[in-house]
Amino acid sequence: MTALHYSVEAANLNAHLFRITLTIPEPTAQQAVSLPVWIPGSYLVREFSKNLQNLSARQGRREVAIVQQDKCSWQIDCKTNQALTLSYEVYAFDNSVRTAWLDRRRGFFNGTSLCLRVHGQEDRPHRLQLQPVKGQPDWQAATGLVPVKTDKKGFGLYQAADYDALVDCPVELGTFWSGHFSACGIPHRFVVAGALPSFDGERLLADTQNICDAEIRFWHGKGAQAGRKAPHANYLFMLNAVDDGYGGLEHRNSTALICGRRDLPRVGEKKTGEGYTTLLGLISHEYFHTWNVKQLRPDAFARYDYTRENYTPLLWFFEGFTSYYDDLLLRRAGLIDDATYLKLLGKTINQVSQTPGRHVQTVAQASLDAWVKYYRQDENTPNATVSYYTKGALVGLCLDLSLRAEGHTLDAVMRGLWKRCKAGPMREQDVLDELQALTSRSWHKELQAWVHSTAELPLAKLLEAQGIRIQAEPGNFAQHLGLRHLDANGSVQIKAVLRGSAAEQAGFAAGDEWLGLEVGTRGQQGHWRVNKLDDVPVLLGKERKAVALVSRDKQLLRLPLVVPQQSTVWRLEASAGRASLWPGN
Ligand SMILES: [Zn+2]
């Protein structure tokens, strides 16, 4: 089969425009093409076609008519015995991992943003010609695509087995830092754009290598053969360091990441700060997805439909369990200690317990609703939804600790599922079948309660059985009141009011600007300006009642506030003498 051919040119850096020339050697008489509406891994219809412009079609010297069918598809009336060439531009100015970016410093793109899908020809080989960037002789290119004929800087011809492979290999362009290492015999490359000169690349490489080794061995055992059983023959990390940002997107043999510059390790600095620990957790998370969601995946993703939402109730497993293992594998790789691991776990537990939506929505429902809820957060999100990342991670924890109490581990279940589903599509029934096979008993009741109901998880009981002490600590003042806020411009901006909270009782609403406080009784009353939330407990002193002055739609309101006695959050501690946290097996 002849290959489809995409030529990508960073045509105008200042206008942020890529130019794409797509050659279809054997078009059909009514050839249809379309641009995906979403990118796998990020469950929101994003309408990438809004950035596509100036589409034209030719056969030889003849211009061919194009009829637009809908928001993202076109049909071309053409001769079948002659190659069809489409040419178009894509505006690229979204500094996230999900779409495309182009300016004088850097370029980045996902195939879902740049590469039209040629209907009926998705299974042919797809070739991508990356053109060197005019006026930027120092730029390089990096991608997980298979090189066919490329120069030293990475420009030239690449190949993908099919359309899915093409759009699952994003491309980084620019003057990035680059390093490499081997993990279980698999070559890995790490490129970093935007780092400061003090960036310690060697440390990032060494720590990432540790993570990759731990994860390959997690899935394929400790033997020398582990690397050969892995689904990827090579791997590329693409990290964009920015002033403020965080995120990642998993791909079959690469990942695109964003972090804050100040979170990168610095030369001469040995300690592992909170920001760097978070970055290592992100690296661990996205790399774990190489197995859990890119290969072993929801049956709904057996074949992606790029034209619409792809619904699955299983993100609690694929995102939640990946979140459970991301920090746990940092611990097992020796990159964090027990105390740090327990601190991270405590944070996840507190995040879920401060989400009233956990009483409204199950994690399976949260997964199906990701397209309209998790990815479209607003002021009502904490009241109506629960995160399949955080609650899913806690379901993973409950399952692991329950299995351990009976002499098994979740590790064995994950590896069993990998084999049972042949590293491919998985149903929830497969999880139940694997649990039954491993432990000779049904786990239907547990999954029903943890995944398909809104009942509280038995965290305290399971953690205490593992020798973890739970300390209740007073929460902060925002947690007492049950609101989320931002101190900005000299006042308190209310972002969300939690269901059943003192803030809701008082009548606060998202969007309110909290300006002042009246506190005290009779002759003792004071009227105070509030500039930040932490002013309020100082002004209150021992008083529990006050009147909050807020501005809503330029009208001043007096809200009667009753501050509750106490709210508590959890802090986890390992009991003295405990050997180690739940180890790998
Ligand atoms: Zn993820």
Structure confidence by residue, pLDDT tens digits, 114-126: 999 999 999 999 9
Ligand 1 centroid from CA 585, angstroms: 24
Ligand 1 centroid from CA 247, angstroms: 9
pLDDT at residue 536 above 90?
yes
**C-alpha dihedral (352, 355, 358, 363), degrees to nearest 10:** -60
pLDDT digits (tens, 9 = 90+) for 54-108: 999 999 999 999 999 999 999 999 999 999 999 999 999 999 999 999 999 999 9
Q: Is 358 left (phi over 0), alpha (psi -120 to 50) or beta?
A: alpha
Chain centre to alpha carbon of residue 550: 36
pLDDT of residue 580: 66
pLDDT of residue 559: 98
pLDDT digits (tens, 9 = 90+) for 290-313: 999 999 999 999 999 999 999 999
pLDDT (average), residues 575-581: 70
Q: How crowded is the C-beta side of 123, counted as CA atoms within 13 Å?
A: 2
Ligand 1 centroid from CA 424, angstroms: 17
Q: How many CB atoms lie within 10 A of CB 451?
A: 24
Q: What percent of the chain has pLDDT over 90?
A: 93
pLDDT (average), residues 510-535: 90
Ligand 1 centroid from CA 507, angstroms: 37
Spatial CB neighbours of 245, under 8 Å, sequence gap ≥ 6: 95, 258, 259, 260
pLDDT digits (tens, 9 = 90+) for 182-240: 999 999 999 999 999 999 999 999 999 999 999 999 999 987 789 999 999 999 999 99
Ligand 1 centroid from CA 319, angstroms: 5
Ligand 1 centroid from CA 284, angstroms: 10
**Which 3-state string (H, E, C) describes 224-235?**
CCHHHHCCCCCE
**Cα–Cα dist 49/116, whole Å:** 9
pLDDT at residue 38 above 90?
yes
pLDDT (average), residues 464-468: 91
Ligand 1 centroid from CA 322, angstroms: 6
pLDDT (average), residues 534-545: 93
**Cα–Cα dist 216/224, whole Å:** 11
pLDDT (average), residues 498-519: 97
Q: How many CB atoms lie within 10 A of CB 570?
A: 17
Please report, as a single letter, which amino acid is at residue 331. Answer: R
Spatial CB neighbours of 581, under 8 Å, sequence gap ≥ 6: 328, 331, 338, 341, 342, 466, 574
Single out the residue of 249, 235, 247, 248 nearest to residue 41, CA to CA.
249
Ligand 1 centroid from CA 478, angstroms: 29
pLDDT (average), residues 129-145: 97
pLDDT of residue 579: 59
pLDDT band per the 50, 70, 90 thresholds, residue 413: very high
Ligand 1 centroid from CA 310, angstroms: 16
Ligand 1 centroid from CA 488, angstroms: 31
Q: Is 398 left (phi over 0), alpha (psi -120 to 50) or beta?
A: alpha
Ligand 1 centroid from CA 273, angstroms: 22
Q: How many CB atoms lie within 10 A of CB 213?
A: 18
Ligand 1 centroid from CA 40, angstroms: 11
Ligand 1 centroid from CA 41, angstroms: 7
pLDDT band per the 50, 70, 90 thresholds, residue 422: very high
Ligand 1 centroid from CA 117, angstroms: 25
Residues pairing with 425 in the sheet: 297
Long-range contacts of 535-539 (CB under 8 A, 24+ apart): 536/477, 537/477
Ligand 1 centroid from CA 289, angstroms: 7
Cα dist from 267 to 10, 257, 342, 575, whole Å: 34, 21, 28, 36
pLDDT of residue 585: 72
Ligand 1 centroid from CA 286, angstroms: 6
pLDDT at residue 566 above 90?
no
DSSP string, 157-177: EEEESSHHHHHTS-EEEES-E
pLDDT of residue 2: 92
pLDDT (average), residues 541-557: 95
Ligand 1 centroid from CA 293, angstroms: 8
pLDDT of residue 504: 98
Ligand 1 centroid from CA 43, angstroms: 11
pLDDT band per the 50, 70, 90 thresholds, residue 578: low
DSSP string, 205-260: HHHHHHHHHHHHHHHH-SSTTHHHHSS-S-EEEEEEEESS--EEEE-SSEEEEEEE
Q: How many CB atoms lie within 10 A of CB 60?
A: 10
DSSP string, 357-379: GGGT--HHHHHHGGGTTTTS--T
pLDDT (average), residues 476-505: 95
Q: How many CB atoms lie within 10 A of CB 440?
A: 8
pLDDT of residue 1: 78
pLDDT of residue 570: 93
pLDDT (average), residues 391-411: 97
Ligand 1 centroid from CA 20, angstroms: 30
Give me 236's structure tokens: 């590329």
Ligand 1 centroid from CA 477, angstroms: 31
Ligand 1 centroid from CA 288, angstroms: 9
pLDDT (average), residues 382-408: 97
Ligand 1 centroid from CA 378, angstroms: 21
Ligand 1 centroid from CA 27, angstroms: 37
Ligand 1 centroid from CA 374, angstroms: 13
Ligand 1 centroid from CA 265, angstroms: 23
Across the chain, mean pLDDT equals 96
pLDDT of residue 583: 79
pLDDT (average), residues 449-466: 96
pLDDT at residue 584 above 90?
no
Looking at per-residue pLDDT, the higher value among 491 and 33 belongs to 33
Ligand 1 centroid from CA 285, angstroms: 6
**Cα–Cα dist 312/299, whole Å:** 8
Output phi, psi for 328, to 5 deg.
-60, -40
Ligand 1 centroid from CA 199, angstroms: 26
What separation, in Å, do the N-terminal and C-terminal C-alpha atoms of the chain show?
46
Ligand 1 centroid from CA 314, angstroms: 13
3-state secondary structure of 425: strand
Cα dist from 310 to 43, 49, 70, 540, whole Å: 8, 18, 19, 51
Ligand 1 centroid from CA 295, angstroms: 13
3-state secondary structure of 514: strand
Ligand 1 centroid from CA 318, angstroms: 7
